Chains A and B, each alone.
Chain A
């Protein structure tokens, strides 16, 4: 199947959904970082899946790209404990 198959109607629905989610971020969730990032993840899911047509590509492509990327991004979260330590200027434990 050609990865650009699918209807214009689907594209429009995804377009409107992404904009509505952006408005929710700004007007409802402003200041709540976790909630805003969750909404951003949903927006990214829609963009990757429908705008970039990853869901209509061969499954092996999705499995080759997404888990590795998510793993790398998750591993970057190990910095947070150090940034909390830094704000209190606490020494590293001996």
Chain B
């Protein structure tokens, strides 16, 4: 216990200081990370909007197949949030096996999402989209598209890795149900960000 958590009582006895938000400090840290990450994604999406708005010939490359792919990705990601909720609830109630099972299901769904994401990327690369050139118009399209979706993809992949590590540790007894709950916050946040990426990046650029 750090000295910062202690205060001296009237007779020199150390007593616990009350937590200001009534949550464990590691959960507060995750919340603080999430709001800073929200600002990062916000800045990325605003930069994307700025560049798109300022370009006279912004490309609209996404056909119905791409939009259906994005909708499928949304379905998978939101479903993974539900499985993460089930995992958290099971872990909190002491059902370790169910908690682990649903955490691993969440990881598999996250990897499926990443696979579909990469399929979309390779489709665009196959059509000639590069970071600073594309066959249709404004050359910055590739840079902004790959930056925004790439940052999100990096979050999904790191979330899948983190959940696997926490689940393995939970299985061995190194981590507890609180850790599963804290990482579920991160996973729901990744889901939340996708809800803004789809309309801005995909639905506004339909052919």
Contact = CB atoms under 8 A, between A and B. Distances in A.
Interface magnitude class on chain A: 35 or more
B200 A33 contact: yes
Given A3-B23, A47-B192, A80-B53, A15 B82 contact: yes
28 contacts: A4-B92, A4-B181, A8-B89, A18-B78, A19-B75, A22-B195, A25-B198, A25-B199, A26-B198, A30-B206, A31-B203, A31-B204, A31-B206, A33-B199, A36-B199, A39-B199, A40-B198, A43-B192, A47-B192, A52-B185, A57-B23, A58-B23, A60-B20, A60-B21, A61-B23, A61-B31, A72-B42, A76-B46
Given A51-B188, A79-B50, A15 B81 contact: yes
Nearest to A35: B199
A48 B193 CA distance: 11
B189 interface: yes
Given A44-B192, A73-B38, A23 B71 contact: yes
Interface in B149-199: 181, 185, 188-189, 191-192, 195-196, 198-199
Interface in B7-36: 20-23, 28, 31, 35
Residue among A52, A82, A84 with the highest chain B CB neighbour number at 10 A: A52
Given A48-B192, A52-B185, A22 B54 contact: no
> Which residue of B43, B53, B75 has the most chain A CB atoms within 10 A of its CB atom?
B53
Taking residues whose C-beta sits less than 8 angstroms from the other chain, chain B's interface range is: 35 or more
Nearest to B204: A33
A82 B181 CA distance: 42
A17 to B, nearest CB: 10
Contacts of B71: 22-23, 26
Interface string B82-110: 10011011001000000000000000000
B50 to A, nearest CB: 4
A79 B20 CA distance: 36
A23 B191 CA distance: 15
B39 interface: yes
A30 B206 CA distance: 8
B53 A83 contact: yes
A51 B191 contact: yes
Given A4-B92, A52-B185, A72-B42, 20 more contacts: A2-B92, A3-B23, A8-B89, A11-B82, A11-B86, A12-B82, A22-B195, A25-B203, A26-B67, A26-B70, A36-B199, A37-B196, A37-B200, A40-B195, A44-B196, A47-B195, A52-B188, A57-B23, A79-B50, A86-B53
B4 interface: no
Contacts of A83: 49-51, 53-54
